[in-house]
Amino acid sequence: MFDGQFGHAAVSETTVTQAVLAAAREHAERGSGRPALVDPHRELDYGRFAASVPAAATGLRRLGVRTGDVAAIHVTGVCDHALAVHAVAAAGAVPAPLPANAEVPELAAMMTECGARFLLTGAATAAEALAATERSYVRQVFAFGNVPGATPFARLVEAGAPPVAPDPGPGPIAPADPLRDLALRLCDPPEGITHAERLADLYRLGGTAGLGVDDVLACHPGDCSTPAWTGLVDLCLLHGATLVAVPEPGLPELLAAIGRHRATTAVVTPAKLRALAFGHAEIPVGDVRLLVTGRPDPDVLAACRARRGWIVVSIG
């Protein structure tokens, strides 16, 4: 049931959310005391994550969410992102993360394109997200924090006990194959990713990123694709690492986060890697592993190895 790569349920026997929840419970029981996810103004530990997700999933089902429904997710923080994605998935629905900086017409078009029936948003994104729902099929809104007209996420958690089994959905009763069901809807460009595909992608990313229980990963979410960002969050939750979300896209902000949180790993774009290799900026802690998105130029990689001695790994 357990394997070395994920540390938990084998790829063929579980979904990502099931594996992540099992791992989070185990990390909480070990009592490491380290946060799982860190935003500029908020931290989420493993115990709270493991308790909140299934409770919120049950709350969603009690308020009418059904298997296969699509949820638009428009939030900024990594804590809200992880809670939303996994609560939706645990309820049997399909999360569709939307770009946090998208404008109202773009958001409305993406909500319509993906067939979203409900929305999870936050205080920082609510104005645009709620305006976009007026031009979409969204009929229910849930929010982190107090947003007029939305059901607070905290209320979903409070309403979530005892658990309610996922509705099998319409149609004849047949053996379920959850790995073939959609696990994620991407909106830019439109694409559906199954549970099996998510697990395979996560397995590959895990082998490349090499995160462990003592690691701290610093990353600005805009520096990688939605699947990569979601995968990195899940890897940290699976392996007991801490993910620190860098709020601003600049290199100085990333370096400051690395120093403040004593990060062992950081995600950089090819442009940031070039600036580090040939510029005057210094990484404030030693032995930081750099995960670069995209393909860096050979001269940049050579400079990183020869001049800096950095470990640089491409995650695509």
Confidence tier at 214 by pLDDT (50, 70, 90): confident
DSSP string for residues in 184-208: EEEETTEEEEEHHHHHHHHHHHHHH
pLDDT given at position 286:
81
- The H-or-E segment that residue 127 falls in is helix 126-133
Pull the structure tokens for residue 88: 């939706």
Domains and CATH numbers, the chain: 46-164 (3.40.50.980), 198-314 (3.40.50.980)
Q: Are 107 and 128 in contact (CB under 8 A)?
A: yes
More reliable by pLDDT, 242 or 6? 242
CA angle, 30 then 217 then 290, to 5°: 140
pLDDT given at position 161:
62
Q: What is the pLDDT of residues 165-208, one digit of tens each?
A: 444 443 333 334 555 688 999 987 788 999 899 999 999 999 99
Q: What is the pLDDT of residues 6-34, one digit of tens each?
A: 444 444 457 899 999 999 999 999 876 67
pLDDT given at position 189:
77
pLDDT given at position 261:
95
Backbone angles phi, psi at 232, to 5 degrees: -65, -40
Q: What is the pLDDT of residues 292-304, one digit of tens each?
A: 998 889 999 999 8
pLDDT given at position 34:
77
pLDDT given at position 188:
75
| pLDDT at 106 exceeding the cut of 50 | yes
Q: Which range in 240-244, 274-278, 287-291 is most confidently predicted, on average pLDDT?
A: 240-244
pLDDT given at position 5:
45
pLDDT given at position 180:
65
Least confident stretch, 15-24, 121-130, 178-187, 237-246: 178-187
pLDDT given at position 262:
95
Q: What is the pLDDT of residues 148-165, one digit of tens each?
A: 999 999 999 998 765 544
Mean pLDDT across the chain, nearest whole number? 88
Q: How far apart are CA 81 and CA 6, in angstroms?
A: 21
Q: What is the pLDDT of residues 32-70, one digit of tens each?
A: 667 999 998 899 999 999 999 999 999 999 999 999 999
Q: How far apart are CA 304 and CA 293, in angstroms?
A: 15
Q: Are 86 and 94 in contact (CB under 8 A)?
A: no
